[in-house]
Amino acid sequence: MVSNDIFFEAHLDNIAYDLAISPPVLYGEEAKQAAKIYGSLDRGAYLWKNRENTVVLKNKDSISTAAHELRHAWQHQYSHTSFNYKLPTKKQSRFHAFFSRILYWLTYFFNPKEIDADKFAADYCRRNKLTYDLRKVREQIIISKISRVGIPIGLIFMLSCVTYLIYLLITING
């Protein structure tokens, strides 16, 4: 019986080998510290904005998360321009950094980086018959697809309501 950590690390090496990348990978407390300037660490992240080129993972428990974040490192190394990894030209103000983070989360499901990283993670789990991880990443992909349809419909609906209200206000006063 192979321990979970060894199983996880073997997959991590395998993913990095598949992608021909070797970024530093940090875990746990060290990962949280490294990601601190970007906000709290959810499951994992790929840090690049300060030229870190580092993958941070909260735990050694999700191979699909590791595959997703390592794929970002691959995008950064091999497909820099098409995935739009532009370093900020000057030091961002706190305010600017805060809004760019909000904007990132609002557009998360539409972001080609995220769509590609999820697709890679799903392919990796499928190829390696990691049933549990494959199910998790598939759920994530379904949520993402629903949001790509649902968010625009919601926005159009909200805009229509606002427009209708404005129309009502104008006609009542007129």
Q: Residues 56-95: x/- map of binding to Zn ion (CB under 5 A)?
A: ----------------------------------------
Please report, as residue ranges, which positions from 97 to 136 form the binding site for Zn ion (by CB under 5 A): 114, 117
Q: Taking CB under 5 A as the rule, which mask of x and - marks residues 20-59 in contact with Zn ion?
A: ----------------------------------------
SS3 (DSSP) at 86: coil
- Separation of alpha carbons 99 and 153, rounded Å: 24
Backbone angles phi, psi at 27, to 5 degrees: -125, 165
What type of residue is 129?
A: K
Q: Across the strands, what pairs with 46?
A: 55
CA distance 54 to 73: 8
Least distance between Zn ion and beta carbon 98 (Å)? 19
State in angstroms the smallest separation of the CB of 17 from Zn ion.
21
Determine the size of the site formed for Zn ion (CB under 5 A).
2
CA 69, 151, 141: angle at the middle one, nearest 5? 35
Instruction: Give the footprint of Zn ion on this chain (CB under 5 A).
Output: 114, 117
